[in-house]
Chain A
């Protein structure tokens, strides 16, 4: 089982503030890194699939960067809103997905 680590485990953010958190993964045999958002009582939904070193992807106020050489990805939330409250999962993709335990973000109004 591949070691995919996410930190921090949880964080609280004031509405309007920006935040970021990390996913670290093995730097060998890399094919892709997935990010998913999992809101309470809903199903996880894909945010990004990142494949190339130096990739930057953006969806609204959420963006992600990828460093395959050192084995990490950052997810950024700019100007956090209460609807951004969710658990964010990353998953390392070789022939299957290996998920981290997630970072749970709580945005306080």
Chain B
């Protein structure tokens, strides 16, 4: 079955700790994205990647880092610089980044809920 796999489902971070959220896709999509959801707000874009070894900051990139070493994988690291990391994180992919076409329909994972201990 093709899809997006996020792990873990739940994650707890201690003060000053970096944590990494995993996102893997087997849809052969070029573009991948990370979003953050807070209560009462829309999904906000953290980082996105159009191709391997390339990624761009989204609207709320501060305190986060990503890598795109393989087409299938786009891990997100929540660093200690992110002072309010408690949120629900969604990873998504799309065929491409071209706006206006069905190629950038987003396919989402099931999400990771991050909490601070």
* Total number of B residues with any Cβ neighbor in A under 8 Å: 25
0/1 string, A82-106, CB within 8 A of B gives 1 = 0000000101011111111110000
A77 shortest CB reach to chain B, Å: 20
With the chains together, A80 CA to B63 CA distance in Å?
A: 42
Size category, A interface = 20 to 34
Cβ–Cβ contact B42 & A99, under 8 A: yes
Partner of A94, one of B40, B99, B101, B111: B99
Cβ–Cβ contact B43 & A43, under 8 A: no
Q: Provide the residues of chain B in CB contact with A98, threshold 8 Å.
A: 42, 45
With the chains together, A32 CA to B104 CA distance in Å?
A: 10
Cβ–Cβ contact B110 & A96, under 8 A: no
Number of interchain pairs (Cβ within 8 Å): 62
With the chains together, A1 CA to B58 CA distance in Å?
A: 9
Cβ–Cβ contact B100 & A51, under 8 A: yes
Cβ–Cβ contact B99 & A43, under 8 A: no
Cβ–Cβ contact A89 & B42, under 8 A: yes
Give the most central of B43, B90, B111: most A CB within 10 Å: B43
Closest A residue by C-beta to B99: A31
Cβ–Cβ contact B108 & A99, under 8 A: no
With the chains together, A43 CA to B2 CA distance in Å?
A: 14
Whether, in the assembled complex, A71 has its beta carbon less than 8 Å from a beta carbon of chain B, the answer is no
Whether, in the assembled complex, B59 has its beta carbon less than 8 Å from a beta carbon of chain A, the answer is yes
With the chains together, A1 CA to B43 CA distance in Å?
A: 11
Cβ–Cβ contact B4 & A1, under 8 A: no
Whether, in the assembled complex, B44 has its beta carbon less than 8 Å from a beta carbon of chain A, the answer is yes
A97 shortest CB reach to chain B, Å: 7
Partner of A102, one of B42, B59, B105: B42
Whether, in the assembled complex, A107 has its beta carbon less than 8 Å from a beta carbon of chain B, the answer is no
With the chains together, A102 CA to B41 CA distance in Å?
A: 8
Whether, in the assembled complex, A36 has its beta carbon less than 8 Å from a beta carbon of chain B, the answer is yes
With the chains together, A95 CA to B48 CA distance in Å?
A: 11
A6 shortest CB reach to chain B, Å: 8
Closest B residue by C-beta to A36: B106
